[in-house]
Amino acid sequence: MRPTYLMESAPGALTIINGKEFIYFGGTSYFELHNNKEVINAAAEALKKYGINSSSSRTSYGTTPLLVQVEKEAAEFFDCEDAVYLASGFLSDIAAVQAFINMNLFDVIFIDEISHYSNNYAAKLSCKISHKFSHADPIDLEKKIKKNLKPRERPLIISDGIFPIPGKIAPLPDYLKIAEIYNGILWVDDAHAFGVIGENGRGTAEHYNLKSEQLYSGGTMSKALGGFGGIIPGRKEFIEEIKQSQTQYGSTPPPSSAAAASLTGMRILKANPQMRIKLWENAVRLKNGLKKLGIDVDDTNVPIASFSLSSYEKMRRLHEKLMEKNILIQLINYVGAGESGSLRIVVFSTHTAEQIDHLIFELGKHL
Ligand SMILES: Cc1ncc(COP(=O)(O)O)c(C=O)c1O
């Protein structure tokens, strides 16, 4: 039986779980914006003004000024024509793939074998034929396309931008070239990349300096951006397709308090690029420390690092030893974590160098 953890504070470098304060490396609030006073005050004001939610869909009377504003400023943040704000990042993938169907943009799906659950749901719900390709492997992708795509059929390539467990950045330039050769499109779930990578925090496409009409991406406000809900920035026609879809007229939108938090989080990140630089520095400090312990991690500035030991029991014991020292990392069973699971460490921009070094020191004692 998995232990039950109760989070009894906002997530941050210090987080209270089951009544105890931990140095917390277990979440995705990459800039601790969910615990930021300005963000919380904006959400509280919106809650007082607009109530719990509009209790009506966007296509009826449920659009509040904050929902409109969050979309307008998300379009600016991501340098796109428009954006749509949804109830969750999970829903973003489903809504996007349904829009591609309505716009008749593809015939067959090719999806990374460890792409997130939400991308897999999106593929399944599309009722289209779907093939998996080896993780982050453009050669295998092209092999699968050559084998399975019939003449005149167009592929939809689906991947995460940053994979939540390995923290690997997908090779989007290669995927995009393949999408172009086969007259298809590329969909990227950028839940862990929005706000985190790219010069302006615009995610994986900006990280690679890619712009293309065949490249689409979406993500979440619930991680780096400090708010809550899904977000898809993009060209007008695509965004309008989603805004007119069943995901909008058959569903209550996110609360205005969540919109206010997301809006404030985005504004803070936009005005303070040094926060992203601090996050990248922390990511490098963590990875250098892990390398010194002999743990194989990549050299990117992604603030996620995962590794496995030879058995689940060994990982469970290490996790427990760290907890005894008030350090919390994740022992996780998740897509991409392998059969026995992984130990996953995430740094925030708000972790101090001492907290990261302390983690490395304690890890080294108990590995
Ligand atoms: C890659 C990825 N996509 C989508 C989601 C879902 O986003 P949300 O929590 O906003 O539903 C997550 C995690 O929560 C994720 O890791």
Tens-digit pLDDT profile for residues 241-277: 999 999 998 999 999 999 999 999 999 999 999 999 9
Rounded to an integer, the average pLDDT of 119-144 is 98
CATH number for the domain that contains residue 116: 3.40.640.10
Q: Is 90 in the pocket of ligand 1 (CB under 6 A)?
A: yes
At 339, is the pLDDT very low, low, confident or very high (cuts 50, 70, 90)? Answer: confident
| Predicted confidence (pLDDT) at residue 1 exceeds the cutoff of 90 | no
Long-range contacts of 2-5 (CB under 8 A, 24+ apart): none
Cα(220) to centroid of ligand 1, in Å?
Answer: 7
Residues facing residue 24 across a β-bridge: 328
251 and 279 belong to one structural domain: no
53 and 177 belong to one structural domain: yes
Ligand 1, pocket-test mutation among 34, 86, 223, 302, most atoms within 8 A of CB: 223
Distance CA 21, CA 181 (A): 53
Q: In one letter, which amino acid is 281?
A: E
194 and 320 belong to one structural domain: no
Q: Are 320 and 3 in contact (CB under 8 A)?
A: no
Q: Are 64 and 54 in contact (CB under 8 A)?
A: yes
Nearest CA to ligand 1 atom 16: 164
Q: Is residue 3 part of a domain?
A: no
263 and 188 belong to one structural domain: yes
Ligand 1: nearest atom to the Cα of 221: 10
Nearest CA to ligand 1 atom 15: 191
Ligand 1: nearest atom to the Cα of 116: 1
Cα(203) to centroid of ligand 1, in Å?
Answer: 14
Cα(23) to centroid of ligand 1, in Å?
Answer: 23
The secondary structure element, H or E, covering residue 112 is strand 108-112
Strands 185-189 and 155-160: parallel
CATH number for the domain that contains residue 18: 3.90.1150.10
Task: Please report the sign of the dihedral spanned by the C-alpha atoms of residue 198, residue 204, residue 209, residue 210.
Answer: negative
Which tens digit of pLDDT belongs to each residue from 30-54?
A: 999 999 999 999 999 999 999 999 9
User: Does pTM surpass 0.95?
Assistant: yes
DSSP string, 30-56: TT-GGG-HHHHHHHHHHHHHH-S---S
Q: Is residue 249 part of a domain?
A: yes
Distance CA 207, CA 231 (A): 18
239: tokens are: 């965004």
Which tens digit of pLDDT belongs to each residue from 93-106?
A: 999 999 999 999 99
Rounded to an integer, the average pLDDT of 73-97 is 98
DSSP code for 17 = E
| Predicted confidence (pLDDT) at residue 189 exceeds the cutoff of 70 | yes
**Of 236, 259, 252, 232, the residue nearest 122 (C-alpha):** 232
Ligand 1: nearest atom to the Cα of 228: 10
Which tens digit of pLDDT belongs to each residue from 355-366?
A: 999 999 999 999
143 and 238 belong to one structural domain: yes
| pLDDT at res. 359 | 98
Q: How many domains does the chain have?
A: 2
Q: Is 118 in the pocket of ligand 1 (CB under 6 A)?
A: yes
Q: Which of 218, 242, 271 is the last residue of a domain?
A: 271
The secondary structure element, H or E, covering residue 270 is helix 256-271
Q: Is residue 225 part of a domain?
A: yes
Cα(119) to centroid of ligand 1, in Å?
Answer: 10
Q: Which of 254, 271, 288 is the last residue of a domain?
A: 271
| Predicted confidence (pLDDT) at residue 286 exceeds the cutoff of 70 | yes
291 and 345 belong to one structural domain: yes
Cα(364) to centroid of ligand 1, in Å?
Answer: 31
Cα(87) to centroid of ligand 1, in Å?
Answer: 11
Burial of 135 (0-12, 13-18, 19+ CB in 10 A): middle
Q: Which of 220, 247, 271 is the last residue of a domain?
A: 271
Rounded CA Rg of the chain? 21
Domain interval for residue 279: 14-30+273-366
Q: Is 112 in the pocket of ligand 1 (CB under 6 A)?
A: no
Q: Is residue 4 part of a domain?
A: no
Of 2-11, 181-190, 266-275, 299-308, least confident by mean pLDDT is 2-11
CA 272 → CA 86, 266, 276, 345, 349, distances in Å? 25, 10, 8, 25, 12
Q: Is residue 5 part of a domain?
A: no
Cα(337) to centroid of ligand 1, in Å?
Answer: 15
Cα(233) to centroid of ligand 1, in Å?
Answer: 16
Nearest CA to ligand 1 atom 9: 89
Rounded to an integer, the average pLDDT of 211-231 is 98
| Predicted confidence (pLDDT) at residue 2 exceeds the cutoff of 90 | no
DSSP code for 61 = T
Ligand 1, pocket-test mutation among 34, 97, 118, 160, most atoms within 8 A of CB: 118
323 and 303 belong to one structural domain: yes
55 and 190 belong to one structural domain: yes
Cα(89) to centroid of ligand 1, in Å?
Answer: 5
